[in-house]
Amino acid sequence: MARILSILVGLFFTVALAWAFVNGAYIQITEPTGPTAEHEFHLHPKDVHFASDGPFGKFDNQQLQRGFQVYKEVCAACHSLEYVAFRDLAQLGYTDAEVKAIAAGFSVPGVDPNTGESTMVPGTPTDYFPKPFANDVAARAANNNAVPPDLSLIAKARHNGPAYVYSLLTGYRDQPAELVKEFPGSKTPPGLHYNPYFANLNLAMPPPLTTDGQVEYSDGTKATVDQMAKDVSAFLVWTAEPKLEKRKQTGWAVLGFLLFATILGYMSYRSIWADKKH
């Protein structure tokens, strides 16, 4: 019985190996070879720095408030913050009254107390940011058949997320003539927009930040396109990891404890074995 079982197991792995080999060879033969437009013209994110970067980095609440203002006035029309509640904004330095006013400026699903029917009501601090579209069908209809992603975790969901968001927002440009010349079939389709920082170079989202002063900052900061892109990117770092500062503080405390324990252990070792001969 054991011999039969071992034969069957060996046969299974042999078949699996053969299938993997044949499938890999088929893909290698059928897939196009050589350089692609995405490989040749896709750019890595720009080099940009934020206050929260590094082991000692901390959030700049003033910048986060500016970033939230950009999100609210520009991005919220298409993108949700599904995992962020209005009350969380208190961490950015907003007062309770300001949080209540911000929440009331959004409409969230609720129930009509008179009829019991579903309706939209002003938000409260305990509510989460609402989705801008009723469903994916409505989202696709309004965005050239693309569903705008939720931005709550975008800074963590993308490699080098903050720099990626900043680069994407500031990276829109005309499609290079050499791209079309080298890859004739890669011309940006109607309704899409060329951006070399996007994986396949063309995306449905039009440039959201188009002109300086598009947002009027309450703290008087000059709202250039570059500044707005940096601020909203910094804000999305916070939405993705609001406890970033606490994590770093805890990490340093743990490292300090481990260093102390290591030194204490070494001193104990030397004390116990000091009179012992090897």
- The predicted-structure confidence for 75-111, as pLDDT tens digits, reads as follows 999 999 999 999 999 999 999 999 999 999 999 988 8
Burial bucket for residue 174 (CB in 10 Å: 0-12, 13-18, 19+): exposed
Query: Are residues 241 and 88 in contact, defined by beta-carbon separation less than 8 angstroms?
Result: no
Q: What mean pLDDT do residues 138-159 have?
A: 93
* Cα–Cα distance for residue pair 56/171, rounded to 1 Å: 29
Query: Are residues 137 and 98 in contact, defined by beta-carbon separation less than 8 angstroms?
Result: no
Residue 150 clears pLDDT 90, i.e. is over it: yes
* Cα–Cα distance for residue pair 74/52, rounded to 1 Å: 23
* Cα–Cα distance for residue pair 119/199, rounded to 1 Å: 39
* Cα–Cα distance for residue pair 103/113, rounded to 1 Å: 20
Residue 262 clears pLDDT 60, i.e. is over it: yes
Binding residues: 75, 78-79, 205
> What's this model's pTM, rounded to 2 decimal places?
0.82
DSSP codes, 163-192? HHHHHHHH---PPPHHHHHH-GGGPPPTT-
Sign of CA dihedral 172, 146, 201, 68: positive
Q: What confidence category does residue 113 fall into, taking pLDDT thresholds of 50, 70 and 90?
A: confident
Please name every residue paired with 85 in a beta bridge, in sequence order, or none if there are none: 128
Binding residues for heme c: 75, 78-79, 205
Q: What mean pLDDT do residues 42-50 have?
A: 93
The residues spanned by each domain of the chain are 37-84+129-242, 243-278
Chain CA centroid to CA 220, Å: 28
- The predicted-structure confidence for 60-76, as pLDDT tens digits, reads as follows 999 999 999 999 999 99
Task: Give the pLDDT score at 9.
Answer: 65
Query: Are residues 76 and 132 in contact, defined by beta-carbon separation less than 8 angstroms?
Result: yes
Buried b (16+ CB within 10 A) or exposed e, 215-245: bebeeeeebebebbbbbbbbbbbbbbbbeeb
- The predicted-structure confidence for 115-132, as pLDDT tens digits, reads as follows 878 888 899 999 999 999
* Cα–Cα distance for residue pair 234/163, rounded to 1 Å: 9
Class assignment of domain 37-84+129-242?
mainly alpha
* Cα–Cα distance for residue pair 233/238, rounded to 1 Å: 9
